[in-house]
Structure 1
Amino acid sequence: MKNFLRKNPQVRTIRVAAADLNAQPRGKRVPSRFAEKVLEDGTRFPLSVLNLDIWGEDIDDSPLVFESGDRDGILWPTERGFLPMPWLEAPTALLPIWMFRDDGRPFDGDPRHALRRVIDRYKAQGLTPVVAVELEFFLIDDSGRNLEVPVSPRSGKRRKAAETMSIRALDQFDLFFTDLYDACEAMDIPADTAISEAGLGQFEINLMHGDDALRAADDAWLFKMLVKGLARRHGFAASFMAKPYEDYPGSGLHTHFSVLDAQGRNIFDDGGPKGTDTLRHAVQGCLSAMHDSTLIFAPHLNSYDRLVPESHAPTGISWAYENRTSAIRIPSGNPKARRIEHRVAGGDVNPYLLLTAILGAALNGIEDREEPPEPITGNAYAQGLRHIPGDWSSAIDAFEKSTVVPRIFSEELIRNLLLTKRQEVHYMNELSPAEQVTIYLDTV
């Protein structure tokens, strides 16, 4: 890690940052000449900083604040090391960190540690999840009273229409996407295909699959930070909020995963189109946990505007082969790449909590060896399925009362997240819709 700064003497400051429960980067600015101290001694800030609400306020009645004296944790660099921050004007490096207690134990309220715990469960069984994510986002002109698609830098025009898989739409923002891909390469984020989506100024970029789920979550977290920061350099906003426009589809964050055994074989691959018994067990694990985990997939008030029928977002608990109306889709293609696609989450999620919920649920299913119901065919919206919670408060209640959630998440993280979301419900309900959009646009 020290070599990065020696090879990049132009970097004058660094940011040390960890993800809180809302995936907001929390940390410090440090002059680069003191960076080695951070590497050798770590850095300190209160445990409660990873448990703030969406406005960055302390959580009322949290045991992490006054009850415990708002005590510090110690944060150490993750294995990612220093990364450039291409969205800033001055040469700057980011050092991702995660939180531990003074006695060396991981802080269970850190979402990155939640994912690490699930990965360790896989490792204990000689298994390795392989993960890829697809991130949808909007480019937005938020300079006026109403949100609009940005003016095209090429044509000077504003196209107020859906542009599903339009090459023209990609070309209109070619300079932005060229800079974005260059920045992803500099940050070692494996950005692959980009497409335009059905919303106004909506796009999707896939991140390549890999056998390190913790790194996949890091990539998604860093990518969201990069896209939002780089868009501002280009004169507009980028947002991963679930539903910025009432009349257009929202943004999802779809997760694809398979599982390798100790010999590197995909345990979902049976050589044919259906997949193995283990694939079906993993599907059932995901289905069993889906209702109670909705708070992870839809963590904000705006999230539920996306989860409505006929909106290209799943509302019923179901699985299917090659069917994008179902919550769980088994894509077709080469059996060696047989995998599960989990389609519920919005773009506004915390990637660490998302992968924890999905991979943890799948492993529960693999361990329990229960069979799922028959896969559906046709339009899932028209089949009278059991639905995930349709509003924020119901999702919070389901998460709190669940018996499956504690198999995946620690007691401390569950408590902290519930306190956070109940506080956000209280204060968000005091805001106008325009004020709600303002807070979500730049944060999530």
Structure 2
Amino acid sequence: MSKRIVILGAGESGVGAALLAQKQGFEVFVSDKSVIKDIFKKELIENGLAFEEGGHTDLKIMNAQIVVKSPGIPDSAPLVMALRKKGIPLVSEIEFAAKFTDARFVCITGSNGKTTTAMLIYHVLSGAGLNVGLAGNIGTSLARQIFNNPTKDCYVLELSSFQLDGMYNFKADIAVLMNITPDHLDRYDYKMQNYIDSKFRIIQNQTKEDCFIYCLDDENIVKGLKERKIQAHQLPFAYGQELESGAFIKDDKIVFNLKGDTMSVFMEQLAIQGRHNHYNTMAAGIVARLFQIRKPLIRECLLSFKGVEHRLEKVLKVRGVTFINDSKATNINSTWYALESINSNIIWIAGGVDKGNDYAELKEMAGKKVKALVCLGTDNAKLLESFKGTVPTVVEATSMAEAVSKAYRLGDKGDIVLLSPACASFDLFDNYEHRGRLFKECVRNL
């Protein structure tokens, strides 16, 4: 008798998990509280997969032997709590899919920089000729990729805290922890320790045969290290100190040092600039060294990487005013790095769904660099209160077109209009990609 699996959520990861589960002989049922997008509904129908949309039917779900839950569904949801009470295992798509491949896993998490770092690692490994996949919180789901081709050498996985929360037996061969700064605290009872613990799940089940790469400059990571016994081989990276094993900055170069075997790249030659991208490059370079890729090839790949859409992406210069799309900056720390990386006067577009933000961390930087703030959201009260008196001009907008127009009018030749929201996008947009695309469209229409 086949094992019954229920998939909650019919997006990319859910449908990927359904296809893989069916291929592995499970009896599959997919349930989505919302209307399923046509592209995914078509796949479910064509593959003969049972599903429902617009609500959950308890009778069809509570008889599952295992449930794969979308990371977007909080643990506090009544259905999730009922499943846990009944003792039915709930796992993430990553936890489920990983059992069906022998590939190595390079896993990246952090409050900021994980997408860029994951894509940079993928760029280097694929550039070196490895048969590598890129999945997790980015692109095509891991389950779908294993369904299509289970024979890859390795997967680079960008993992959110929500995905990590649903992972129990999974193990990263190489774990990368970029940073831990306040984010998604609304999902963690507004307790920073809960969020830190979630991020450190990246190293669960690691042995001394595995590697843990992390930022030694991050105080929350350093605190977390002291609270844990780390089994894996540790390879830190840092700005301010030379390291015997890991990566660091010296004489305007990033130095990678693995037990005295060193290589370096000049920071000014990197296509992606800014302190945050130096950290991303340090992490990616250490991973490349662990794969024993030839040094000239590592250097070539690190220098040729052009960055990620919606992350400090230059859009256009309009009559001397430069527009930069940083829509992916959905938290305070990410926006801090964006402001820090710009040396011109900034007209800053910010706002959206606040996830428990403390804007005090941005006040000093904003006071030095921001000449005007355009608050874009359905409720801008907290932003207005936080920056009134710090930024000379603060205005509101209720649409992207209005925000771009106001920002442009406030700018002078040589200024930069920066969309770096520090908030989630769900009040006015589908997601940060939708927000970023609309920003670019509105800029092109000026």
Instruction: Name the TM tier (shorter chain).
Output: under 0.3
Q: Whose RCO is larger (CA < 8 A, sep 6+)?
A: 1
1 or 2, which has the higher strand percentage? Answer: 2
When the two structures are superposed, what TM-score results if normalisation uses the length of structure 2?
0.26
**Max radius of gyration: which structure?**
2
